[in-house]
Structures are given as C-alpha cells and as structure tokens.
A = this chain, B = another copy of it.
Amino acid sequence: MIEETQTKGERTRQAVLDAAHRLFIGQGYAATSMRQIAKKAGIAPASIYNHFDSKDKMFEAILLERHPFLQIMPILSSTQGRNMEEFVRGAAHTLVDQLGHYPDILNLMLTEIVEFQGEHVSLLFQKFIPRVMPLIQRLYSLDGNMRDIPPFVLARAFLGMFFSYYITGALLGQAMPAEMQANALDHFVDIFLHGVLVKETA
C-alpha cells in the first residue's frame, strides 16, 4: 500500500469510475447498464447513486477525468526533441508505444461524438485549452524551416495525424495481416513532416 490518503468513499468512487470507463470504451454508453458497472465495481447498483446523480453525470465525470487528451498531453509534454523532426518522430512513437496500437484510447471521445452529439465538447475545450496552449506554442516554435502554417492549424494537423492513424488502423487492422500495417506510422509521420517543413535538398 503506497497511498492511504484517499477516503473509503473516494476509493469506491474511483472503482466505479474505473468500471464504467472500461465498459464505455468497450461497448459504448447506451449499451452499458448501471448493473454491469456496479457488478464490475463490486457494489450494489443503488450504491452508485451515492457517488453520481445519474448515469449521464457519471459519463460527464469520466470525460473530465479520463478523456484521452489527459493521457496524450503529458506524453507530448515530456517528449524531447531539438527540432520539429525529432519532436514529431519521438512523440509519435512514444504515444503509440505507451497507448498501444489499438484505437480503444479514442473510443471515449468517439462515443461522446456519436452518442452525445458532441454536447460536452465546449466543456472539455474550456478545461483543456490552458494545457494545450503551451504545447501549441512549443510545437510552433520548434526549429525546422517550417512552411507558413498557422499555429492552430499545425496543432490540429498534428493531432489529426494520430486520429487518422488510429481510425484507419481500426478499419484496416482486423482485415489485413501486415503489408499495410508495417511501418504505417513511420509513413504517416514522414508525410506530415514533409507536408509541414520546407524541403532542404531538392
């Protein structure tokens, strides 16, 4: 036992959050019942309501405390790299190594888009923007003979590269053996880098 500062109530809350988080990722929001969550968390279904007002509020709490951005951003922050190429290559591989090749990581985000029509987006935006801004600034100020691309667009394209890698991977990964999977990330990174940097040698 390392940390004992959590109250019992807080530990139970986290157990519920853990259970619900995994179930939402695995099968979506509507298909997950309070009874499934309770069983996985090891308590009675009614006890969940001591910690969350409703299923909806619980989902909102999970978004705010477990959104994939909260895993992605610390990794990006700790990525070394003296110039754009080093940073992007390092970030891409560290992200994929630590988050895994399967797109489950994005599922919570995708569920919010499809099952809630993105209704929490502005809430999340407000919460995350202060943490994202320094990263955008850092990305933009890296050396590398960058073409004339606005900082926000650059950040969006960088993020988009991961999303597209994961989602096309989900679409193809189960249907293809390896010919397209192998080194796909490296190719995506190459295309992004060539797309963003001014070519040094013709």
Contacts and interface: CB of A to CB of B under 8 A. Distances in A.
A192 B190 CA distance: 11
A191 interface: yes
Copies of this subunit: 2
The secondary structure that dominates the A interface is helix
Interface of A: 26-31, 103, 107, 109-111, 113-115, 117-118, 121-122, 125-126, 147, 149-150, 152-153, 156-157, 159-161, 163-165, 167-168, 170-172, 174-175, 179-180, 184, 187-188, 190-196, 198-199, 202
A28 B113 CA distance: 10
Contact of A27 (B115, B121, B168): B115
Closest 10 CB pairs of A and B: A160-B164, A195-B195, A191-B195, A30-B30, A30-B31, A125-B175, A199-B199, A164-B164, A28-B115, A194-B195
